[in-house]
């Protein structure tokens, strides 16, 4: 087992998939010669050749359509978009073609393809380089969306996405690319899409999160011991945004009676909205406090000087946890 960060986990997953299946093709802006803007594909072109790992023109609108054509003809493309905000140009193909080709062709064709995108802020990037737009992709029928937080999950979910017979969008938090390392198996393994991970057990509050906010929540829980030494928090990392693990979340809220959903994307019409609505429908009689969330604000993500005001922090999560725990009917 190797001790690696999230970037190396992406590289290892792609290398394993390309070794196992000659139909796996990797392309995107600078992914061949440079290894991508974050160096996630470094060394793949040298190992597998220009036909299987190559640079594409600067046209996100084109990437998705080319990937679909490949997928319909027996290949398994892994398309890298440099940043999630730039990927909006590919939405027309994702919504109108990729997501519905199986339905449109009455199962004659499918789209076994992966679209990888760095997501979120925290690295003081330029405009369109810090968006968290997972709710847009999750809203589209026929599309699966995953967002890993650890190197182990990054490798396992990416391999599962490549193996999927249908299109998967893999969102990779930029803030976590090189944030920490973890022991990860060298061999091929997958994590089932739609299966959350319970980071820790608890009885007083369920915290549901994903991506970069798993780290913020863990830090906030450690800080909570000062004000609420006897409170125990159940922390769930969704890992998959669509489909999401309703069973685990609902069972947890029925036990704790309280829920806090944390993500950096804007608040309105978000992943937290879907989770809270579902939990309200399924767990209303179990609730001991109003369902709550800690999210980004409904504004355009600020430039680097103001980014810290927008970003989720352990302190913000701590305050929301205290509010939910202290609520009295």
The residues carrying an active-site annotation are: 129
Helices (H), the chain: 6-20, 44-48, 60-72, 91-96, 101-104, 134-138, 151-163, 213-224, 246-256, 271-283, 304-310, 314-326
- Per the CB < 8 A criterion, the answer to whether 279 and 259 are in contact is yes
CA atoms within 13 A on the CB side of 164: 27
Three-state SS for 299? coil
- Per the CB < 8 A criterion, the answer to whether 144 and 94 are in contact is no
Those residues with Cβ within 8 angstroms of residue 171's Cβ, 6 or more apart along the chain or in another chain: 84, 117, 119, 134, 137, 145, 146, 147, 211, 241
How many CB atoms are closer than 10 A to CB 227? 12
């Amino acid at each position: 087992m190797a001790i690696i960060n999230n970037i190396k986990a992406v590289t290892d997953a792609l290398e394993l998939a390309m070794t196992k299946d000659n139909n796996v093709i990797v392309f995107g802006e600078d992914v061949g010669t440079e290894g991508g803007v974050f160096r996630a594909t470094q060394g793949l072109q040298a190992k597998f050749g220009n036909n299987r790992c190559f640079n594409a023109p600067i046209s996100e609108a084109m990437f998705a359509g080319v990937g679909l054509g490949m997928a319909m003809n027996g290949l398994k493309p892994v398309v890298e978009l440099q940043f999630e905000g730039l990927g909006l140009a590919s939405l027309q193909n994702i919504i109108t073609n990729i997501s519905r080709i199986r339905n449109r062709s009455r199962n004659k064709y499918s789209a076994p393809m992966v679209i990888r995108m760095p997501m979120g802020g925290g690295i003081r990037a330029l405009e369109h380089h810090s968006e968290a737009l997972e709710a847009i992709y999750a809203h589209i029928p026929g599309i699966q969306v995953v967002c890993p937080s650890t190197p182990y999950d990054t490798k396992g979910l990416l391999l599962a996405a490549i193996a999927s017979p249908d299109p998967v969008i893999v969102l990779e938090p930029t803030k976590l690319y090189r944030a920490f390392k973890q022991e990860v198996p060298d061999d091929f393994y997958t994590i089932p899409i739609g299966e959350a991970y319970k980071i820790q057990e608890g009885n007083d509050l369920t915290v549901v999160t994903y991506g970069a906010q798993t780290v913020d929540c863990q830090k906030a829980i450690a800080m909570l011991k000062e004000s609420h030494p006897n409170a125990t928090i159940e922390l769930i990392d969704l890992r998959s945004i669509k489909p999401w693990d309703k069973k685990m979340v609902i069972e947890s809220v029925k036990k704790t009676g309280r829920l806090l959903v944390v993500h950096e994307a804007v608040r309105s019409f978000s992943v937290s909205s879907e989770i809270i609505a579902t939990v309200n429908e399924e767990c209303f009689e179990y609730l001991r406090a109003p369902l709550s969330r800690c999210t980004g604000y409904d504004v355009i993500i600020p430039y680097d000087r103001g980014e810290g005001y927008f970003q989720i922090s352990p302190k913000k999560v701590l305050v929301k946890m205290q509010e939910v725990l202290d609520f009295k009917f």
